Amino acid sequence: MSTDAIKEWWTSIPIISRWMFAGVLGIPAICALGLISPYSFTLSFAPLFKQFQIWRLITSPVFIGTFGPNFLFPMIFFYQYSTKLESQHFQGKTDDFLFLVICVTIPNIIFGLIFNYMILGTMTTMSLIYMYSRYNANSQSSFFGFFSFKTVYLPWIFMLMSFLTSGALPVQDFLGVVSAHIYYYLTDVYPRAHGKPSLIKTPRFISNLFKNEPVPRGPGGRTVTGGYNWGQGRALG
């Protein structure tokens, strides 16, 4: 692949997804070069609150682990569902997508501090997968072409495959779904049920950061899911 092709692909990624994906790739790259310890990017109570290392609030949600056998699939799915959400449902609404990311990240961080989860990237990915499944509930997804199912069941298929491949309960994945459902309930379920506007809306200062021009369309096509050792305790090195 030529440099121009890589540049064209990179600039075609919607802006918020591009920033996050840069973290997904950049953090393990920095760790692989030995420049900074992987621990410096994780969520940890003492460094965060006692040493005010607030960058951990930004790095831990996009940290899916260091390069290794378990990195590829989480990286692909983070990219896939983030770009699909931003380029399809949130096309031209970059501010709203950023607000969604913030809204699911806050409870994910709280869960991480409560349950001592240091790497939150898989929780972020599952939150994005859940939102994609709700906004495309009646569309069809497939499992490597072997069987098809309604996209609304996508998060549960992921969690089932995580359990079957790892033997561990996908607690982090489930908490990522909980975080996303809180946002979905406040912005969609409750307003539709009661005929009222969304209970939360994108703050003006976030909207002022963007012109709300249509974002580049990410890769389309049917969703293909797969089983892998998904998110229960990823090694740092």
Closest CA to 120 of 111, 129, 128: 111
* Whole-number average pLDDT of the chain: 89
- Walk me through the domains of the chain, giving residue ranges and CATH numbers: 3-225 (1.20.1540.10)
The percentage of the chain sitting over the pLDDT mark of 90, rounded to a whole number, equals 80
Separation of alpha carbons 117 and 139, rounded Å: 33
What does the buried/exposed string (b/e) look like for 68-94 if buried means 16 or more CB atoms within 10 Å of the residue's CB? eebbebbbebbbbbbbbbbbbbbbebb
* Distance, CA of 98 to CA of 88 (rounded, Å): 14
Q: What angle do helix axes 94-115 and 171-184 make, rounded to 10 degrees?
A: 140
pLDDT in tens, 122-170: 999 999 999 999 999 999 988 767 778 999 999 999 999 999 989 999 9
Exposure string of 111-141, with b = 16+ CB inside 10 Å and e = fewer, is: bbeeeebbbbbbbbbbbbbbbbbbbbeeeeb
Cβ contacts of residue 102 below 8 Å, gap of 6+?
none
Distances (CA, A) of 108 to 43, 82, 135, 222: 11, 16, 20, 28
Whole-structure pTM value? 0.88
Q: Which of 169, 39, 47, 58 is nearest to 108 (CA)?
A: 58
Residues 162-221 have pLDDT tens digits of 999 899 999 999 999 999 999 999 999 999 999 999 999 999 999 999 865 554 544 444
SS3 118: coil
